[in-house]
């Protein structure tokens, strides 16, 4: 996703994954090789294509995205407890009008207010869910701190796992769905000590670039990824993603399966 911050006006606003240059470099350092991908990886051919956008993409041409085989999209809604993307409403409504299954995403800053506070802000500002088959579960984007030297936001591993638990429990209480976890294997293993507390409850949205396949998953007993963000540019606006299943399974996942 993206950190489009009014919270930090001195930081240049970037798209979901443009801020991920450093994240991608870190991932590359842990066994990501090859060239930058511009097409869907051969190993994932045939899986439903999607993308994610933030305020950086502004007014997206959703019909064009649909024509290029987009089936789903995640739209950044909020960050921390004070920022809501000014483009969220039009992007969220526009993608649905074009026939895409869409969901909302929250960019976490765990060193700021509690997981409960940020979850409530997210749900109030677009992170809701309905079992009508067009709304993906709310998503939590949690990764290395883009604003300072403390990569894990200054939280110890147990506190980080506790923050995620609090966010997840509150989102589930308010919406009836556990959030999808967007992260990298390296961040998860480093900042949560490979926690297995969420393996059976959270669908995984894995970020791993410049690779022919998703590679190693976060430790903690997880066997499958649900979404894979495989590049930060391509034929669709924003970052490029795949769903690990069929179109029918994607629909059922949106419905609550």
**Residues assigned a catalytic role:** 52, 141, 143
CA torsion 208→140→201→247, rounded to 10°? -60
Q: Are 140 and 87 in contact (CB under 8 A)?
A: no
> Distance between CA atoms of 13 and 2, rounded to whole angstroms?
8
> Distance between CA atoms of 81 and 182, rounded to whole angstroms?
18
Residue 213: CB atoms within 10 Å: 11
For residue 186, the number of C-alpha atoms closer than 13 Å in the C-beta half-sphere is 17
Q: How many angstroms separate the first and last alpha carbons of the chain?
A: 24
Nearest to 76 by CA among 161, 174, 167, 182: 182
CA torsion 177→179→185→186, rounded to 10°? -150
Strands 239-243 vs 49-53: parallel, antiparallel or unpaired:
antiparallel
> Distance between CA atoms of 36 and 105, rounded to whole angstroms?
25
SS3 category, 66: helix
């Amino acid at each position: 996703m993206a950190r489009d911050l009014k919270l930090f006006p001195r930081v240049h606003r970037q798209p979901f994954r443009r801020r991920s240059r450093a994240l991608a470099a870190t991932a590359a350092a842990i066994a990501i090789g090859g060239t930058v991908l511009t097409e869907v990886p051969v190993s994932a051919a045939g899986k439903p294509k999607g993308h994610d956008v933030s305020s950086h993409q502004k007014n997206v041409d959703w019909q064009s995205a649909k024509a290029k085989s987009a089936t789903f999209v995640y739209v950044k809604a909020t960050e921390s407890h004070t920022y809501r993307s000014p483009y969220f409403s039009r992007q969220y409504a526009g993608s649905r009008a074009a026939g895409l299954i869409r969901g909302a995403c929250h960019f976490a800053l765990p060193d700021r207010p509690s997981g409960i506070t940020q979850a409530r802000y997210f749900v109030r500002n677009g992170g809701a869910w309905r079992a009508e088959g067009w709304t993906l579960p709310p998503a939590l984007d949690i990764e290395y701190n883009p604003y300072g030297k403390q990569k894990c936001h200054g939280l110890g591993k147990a506190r980080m796992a506790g923050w995620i638990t609090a966010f997840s429990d509150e989102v589930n209480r308010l919406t009836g769905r556990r959030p999808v976890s967007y992260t990298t294997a390296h961040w998860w293993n480093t900042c949560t000590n490979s926690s297995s507390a969420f393996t059976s409850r959270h669908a995984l949205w894995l970020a791993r670039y410049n690779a022919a396949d998703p590679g190693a998953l976060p430790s903690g007993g997880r066997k499958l990824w649900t979404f894979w963000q495989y590049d930060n540019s391509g034929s669709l606006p924003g970052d490029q993603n795949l769903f690990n299943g069929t179109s029918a399974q994607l629909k059922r996942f949106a419905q609550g399966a």
